[in-house]
Structure 1
Amino acid sequence: MKYGIFIGYTFTPAWLQKSGKEREQFQQEHIAPLIAKYADRLTVQHYDAEAFSAQPTDFAFITTEDLRAYYFFIEELRDSPLFADGYAQINVIHVGMADGYRQFEEEVHGDGDDAH
């Protein structure tokens, strides 16, 4: 099954005090390698939200078929300086299954004809 994961997070004043160049260097040093490490099992997209929402200021949308890889990625991300040093805080995580009801119908009812 394919999973979609929404992770809303808010950048703290400590992050906002960094220059654009410092933020980019930080991202290249700490975040990009982590995303690359899991790129064969996760697709990670970052979205800015601060113009539309007070909290979270940003969110990531991750798609995967491997929840174990997702879990390990999040553990490493939370241990990274981005979160461990207080530059950002996770506000919310939502996980969903792409068309999960279809697999449920096929496996439980054996027909897949009941649409939701």
Structure 2
Amino acid sequence: MSNRSLNYVVIVSLTALPSWLRLSRTARADVIATEVEPAMAAHPECRIRWIDAESLTALCSDVMLVETTDLRNWNHLWERLRDSSLFAEPYFELVSIVPGIEDGYADYEAEAALHHA
């Protein structure tokens, strides 16, 4: 069995709802500062990038790109975000969650080579 840890990537597509768009930019920043940033800070093993997509696609307005080696921590972060006003108000609609394993094929090949050597 391989000793290297897997890097999981989770792509979350979101669409901003009118309730979010009606907020002032200051109010939006307050929601992020009081609810989203503390959730992210509590799970530093989840590296998160926020991507604005609304000017380039009609599929979603925002993409959250998460990288982690621990899916349990990702799950805990997601549960905390789900409990926030982002989804409870709701301010955003969840479009999709696409998980993957970075270079998963390489991990498989390395594992297969160990068993067939």
Q: Output the aligned Cα RMSD.
A: 1.1
Residue 3 of structure 1 corresponds to which residue in structure 2? 8
Residue 21 of structure 1 corresponds to which residue in structure 2? 26
Residue 30 of structure 1 corresponds to which residue in structure 2? 35
For normalisation by structure 1, the TM-score amounts to: 0.90
2:102 to 94, 98, 104: 98
Structure 1: give runs of 5+ residues left out of the alignment: 112-116
For normalisation by structure 2, the TM-score amounts to: 0.90
Residue 12 of structure 1 corresponds to which residue in structure 2? 17
Structure 2: give runs of 5+ residues left out of the alignment: 1-5
Matches within 5 A, 1:9-88: 9-39=14-44, 41-88=45-92
Identity %: 31
Instruction: After the TM superposition, list the runs of 4 or more consecutive aligned residues in structure 1 that deviate by more than 4 angstroms.
Output: none
1:45-90 CA distances to partner (integer Å, 9 max, x unpaired)? 1011000111210010000000000011111111111111110011
Alpha-carbon distance in structure 1 between the residues aligned to 2:25 and 2:37: 16
Query: Aligned residue pairs: how many?
Result: 110
Q: How many Å apart are 1:109 and its aligned residue?
A: 3.2
